[in-house]
């Protein structure tokens, strides 16, 4: 089954929550991390970052609960969703977000935060191994491949390394980063080749290409956590890749602008937030000229982008709920994935 046929096969509302909805707390966690970094480098109020972390934790719990309840009530099966060639990779966002939240709250609640991180790292290992094993089956249509394939293989392990580094587990930190870099090298060319030499992605999946540009920033943030926040050769290498891949996304702004808004736009949020955090860290350590002005510009751009996506998402969900109460189907399932 191609990604195109998958997207058009599910054109009626089913009442189920897609795994892609887990991208909402993931993006909010990224924004919270950016504001936390802004507090350390720009002197912004720490309470803003703390409030965003609390919001991300609440939305994370709600998103997981909503997915599980609605899946059960509408005849869904979690294992079937995990095996879905399009939605399956997004399942890893649940433990990946949990690692970010657990790492932050470990500062105030050490035992609970660390236990959450350890549990989520274990789940990331299970989901990552299961996903890669599924790729070896050889029955997957290349047209179903999208940048979300980097989530259970690259992003999850890089963030595991970041969490481990932040909590003082250096061996686990380097190991997680190593796994993330390995699969970035393995899957990155596959995704680019699919985009270049196969039919275009369905428009509902096109925003996932924003994830393609996330690894340099996520790896850079993880390495800062592992190496004590120092600039070194590895960070210089990542910086060049980071600049190029962000430039790729900027070159695609017109393409993205023409798309109708869907919840899939949350794919932009963590890439934006992780890039903002990485940029703030670099501006501070490099003591760049006018770093305060550039830092505030980065913070404003990231906040406005994610805030606008959040506001539009609320509008989409309200209209979908109103339609369901009327017994209608104003928003097809593909449109809200």
239 inside domain: yes
| pLDDT tens-digit map of 197-227 | 999 988 888 999 999 999 999 999 999 999 9
Burial class (CB in 10 A: 0-12, 13-18, 19+), 232: exposed
pLDDT score of 71: 74
61 inside domain: yes
Which two tokens mark 47? Answer: 């309470």
9 inside domain: no
CA atoms of 300 and 145, how far apart (whole Å) = 33
202 inside domain: yes
168 inside domain: yes
CA atoms of 121 and 32, how far apart (whole Å) = 20
237 inside domain: yes
pLDDT score of 76: 59
44 inside domain: yes
- C-beta neighbour count of 71 within 10 angstroms: 20
Across the chain, mean pLDDT equals 89
User: Binning pLDDT at 50, 70 and 90, where does residue 112 land?
Assistant: very high
Q: What is the mean pLDDT of residues 45-66?
A: 96
| pLDDT tens-digit map of 225-278 | 999 999 999 999 999 999 999 999 999 999 999 999 988 899 999 999 999 999
Query: Rounded to two decimals, what is the model's pTM?
Result: 0.90
327 inside domain: yes
**Domain range holding 146?**
17-336
Res. 143: pLDDT tops 50:
yes
Which two tokens mark 98? Answer: 């949990």
- How far lies 302's CA from each of 12, 151, 207, 299, in Å? 34, 20, 16, 5
Evaluate whether 81 touches 2 at the Cβ level (below 8 Å). Answer: no
Could you tell me the CATH number of the domain that includes residue 328?
1.50.10.150
Tally the domains of the chain.
1
DSSP letter at 225 equals: H
| pLDDT tens-digit map of 169-192 | 999 999 999 999 999 999 999 999
Res. 11: pLDDT tops 60:
no
- C-beta neighbour count of 234 within 10 angstroms: 17
């Amino acid at each position: 089954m191609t990604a195109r046929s998958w997207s058009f096969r599910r054109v009626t509302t089913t009442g189920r929550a897609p795994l892609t909805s887990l991208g909402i707390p993931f993006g909010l966690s990224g924004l919270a991390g950016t504001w936390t970094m802004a507090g350390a480098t720009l002197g912004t109020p720490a309470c803003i970052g703390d409030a965003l972390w609390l919001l991300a934790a609440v939305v994370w719990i709600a998103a997981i609960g909503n997915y599980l309840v609605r899946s059960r009530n509408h005849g869904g099966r979690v294992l079937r969703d995990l095996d879905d060639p399009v939605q399956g990779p997004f399942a890893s966002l649940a433990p990946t977000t949990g690692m970010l939240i657990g790492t932050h709250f470990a500062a105030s609640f050490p035992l609970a935060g660390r236990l959450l991180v350890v549990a989520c790292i274990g789940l990331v290992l299970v989901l990552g191994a299961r996903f890669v094993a599924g790729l070896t089956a050889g029955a997957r249509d290349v047209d179903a491949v999208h940048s979300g394939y980097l989530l259970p293989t690259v992003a999850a392990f890089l963030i595991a390394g970041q969490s481990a580094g932040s909590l003082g587990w250096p061996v686990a930190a380097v190991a997680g980063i190593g796994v993330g870099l390995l699969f970035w090298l393995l899957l990155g060319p596959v995704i680019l080749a699919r985009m270049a030499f196969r039919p275009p992605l369905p428009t509902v999946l096109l925003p996932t290409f924003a994830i393609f540009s996330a690894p340099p920033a996520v790896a850079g943030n993880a390495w800062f956590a592992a190496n004590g926040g120092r600039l070194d050769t590895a960070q210089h290498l990542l910086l060049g890749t980071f600049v190029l891949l962000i430039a790729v996304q900027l070159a695609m702004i017109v393409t993205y602008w023409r798309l109708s808004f869907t919840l899939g736009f949350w794919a932009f949020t963590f890439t934006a937030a992780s890039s903002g955090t990485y940029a703030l860290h670099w501006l501070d350590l490099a003591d760049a000229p006018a770093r305060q002005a550039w830092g505030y510009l980065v913070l404003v751009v990231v906040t406005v982008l994610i805030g606008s996506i959040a506001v539009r998402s609320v509008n989409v969900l309200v209209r979908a709920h109103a339609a369901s109460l009327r017994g209608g189907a104003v928003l097809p399932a593909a449109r809200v994935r």
